Amino acid sequence: MTDYQKKSMDFVGLKDKYEISYLDLKPEEITFKGKLNEPVHSWFRLTPSYSPYLVRLIIQRMELGKDKKVLEPFAGTGTTLIECKKAGIESFGVEINPILHTIAKGVTNWDLDLGKVGDIFDSLIAKTEMDIEKNKEIDLESFPAKLNIEIPKIHDVFRWWKPEILRDLLICRNNIVNWEFLKIIGIS
């Protein structure tokens, strides 16, 4: 750890106030590595995430109870929010990146009707298979206008996907983003 990092830790006050020293913790107790085998946390890998273990340790040392509220101004994939939820502590998150914001909302929505989600997945898969089959002969030039799907503006797009693979992927993505499912899991 560099001097700068040590000074940052002193600034946060974790060492003096809560007796948490980063030097005593293993990498998986601080970094995203600690998320990889944990339920919910492992759904999305973000390397600048910190470990759920660290959040639990801070909640415990700060003696945060259900009467407290937590604000996470840099929510990322919701590590703090998930741990607060598990501990019954109300928490609020702010996240500027729309993808991470969507993920943080999804991972903290635990009030799902699993039967309904299963049914929706089944019909989503069935529709997507049908659409792919129906459009398998269509050429990529007429494809966007016909299906009202835009080809991503990625430089040299066919370097990454063969045309027929991209067409199937776009059909799949189109169905997902237009699907009732996103509303049901609370991220649309």
| Chain positions contacting ligand SAM, by CB under 6 A | 46, 48-50, 74, 76-77, 79, 94-97, 100
Fill in the amino acid letter for 100. L
Under DSSP, is residue 40 helix (H, G, I), strand (E, B) or coil? coil
SS3 state at 129: helix
Report, in Å, the least distance between residue 77 CB and ligand SAM. 4
Q: Nearest-CB residue to ligand SAM?
A: 76
Nearest approach, Cβ of residue 158 and ligand SAM (Å): 31
Nearest CB to ligand SAM, comparing residues 106 and 170: 106
Report the nearest approach of ligand SAM to the CB of residue 89 (Å): 16
Q: Compute the least distance from the CB of residue 53 to ligand SAM, in Å.
A: 12
Contacts for 96-102: CB closer than 8 Å, 24+ residues apart:
100/46, 100/75, 100/76, 101/75, 102/187
Q: Which is nearer to ligand SAM, 100 or 166 (CB)?
A: 100
In 1-113, which ranges are continuous DSSP H helix?
A: 3-12, 14-18, 27-30, 52-61, 79-86, 98-107
Give the residue with the Cβ less far from ligand SAM, 23 or 96. 96
**What is the distance between the alpha carbons of residues 106 and 3, in angstroms, rounded to a whole number?**
38
Q: Which is nearer to ligand SAM, 77 or 128 (CB)?
A: 77
